[in-house]
Amino acid sequence: MIKKISSVLIVTFFISTGAANPKTFYDLGYKWKTDQGKTVTLKSFKGQKVVATMVYASCQTACPLIIKKLQKVHEVLSKHKVAAQFFIVSFDSKRDSYKKLGHFKMHNDLNEDNWTLAVGSEADTRAYANILGIKYSQNPESGEIMHDNKIILIDEKGKIVKSIEGLDASIEKEDLF
């Protein structure tokens, strides 16, 4: 009896953490709170192209530049009528509340429907960054975050197809999907 209960619990545990068997980007089970206050998983993007990156709201140096680069990507894709979701996750799981991200979104004019900012638990953030191949460190005392600047492109089948590195914003259609 106990064995049955525990195996049920274990299975449930797995479904919830999503450690299960992620075949595509959409199968990853990490839970995010969006700037709208909604709780989502990556399943909500199923069947769509995703432009993914990570920033944090109090970043003064690179993050404004990465947002600019994302806006350029947005511009190029719109021009060529390629539909994609822009999903930006915060590195700073402790200090970036979803409300703060809402302000950040407004402040940077990321107003269209296909922009989503989100924040999750520290463990999910670390694992997600590892899936995307984005390195980051947090100084345990000052709280300051050092991170790669990468934009990851995921196709409509949920496969990671490209990693665009650096802050220089010269983007052409060939660089994207």
Partner 1 sequence: MPRFLVYLVILTFGHTFQVFSSSPAEIPAGSFTPLFGLDKNQKAFRVDAFLIDRTPVTNSEFNQFIKTHKDWRRSQKTSLVADQNYLKHWRADGPSIKQLHLPVTNVSWFAANDYCTWKGGRLPSTLEWEYVAAADSKKADASKDPEFTSKLLKWYEKPSGDENPRPVGANGENFYGVKDLHQLIWEWTYDFNATFVTADNRQDGDKMKNFFCGSGAINANSREDYAAFMRYAFRSSLGASFTVNNLGFRCAYDKKN
Residues lying near partner 1 in the complex (CB under 8 A): 7, 10, 14, 17, 19-25, 28, 59, 61-63, 123, 126-127, 130-131, 133, 135-142, 144-149, 165-168
Closer to partner 1 by CB, 111 or 139: give it: 139
Quick check: 103 and 35 in contact, CB under 8 A? no
Q: Quote the tokens at residue 170.
A: 């010269």
Q: Quote the tokens at residue 5.
A: 């209960």
Nearest distance from C-beta of residue 63 to partner 1, angstroms? 7
Nearest distance from C-beta of residue 49 to partner 1, angstroms? 18
CA 43 – CA 38 distance, rounded (Å): 14
Closer to partner 1 by CB, 20 or 83: give it: 20
Nearest distance from C-beta of residue 128 to partner 1, angstroms? 10
Nearest distance from C-beta of residue 104 to partner 1, angstroms? 16
Distance of CA 88 to the CA centre of its chain: 4
Side chain identity at residue 34, one-letter code: T
CA 86 – CA 73 distance, rounded (Å): 10
Closer to partner 1 by CB, 29 or 102: give it: 29
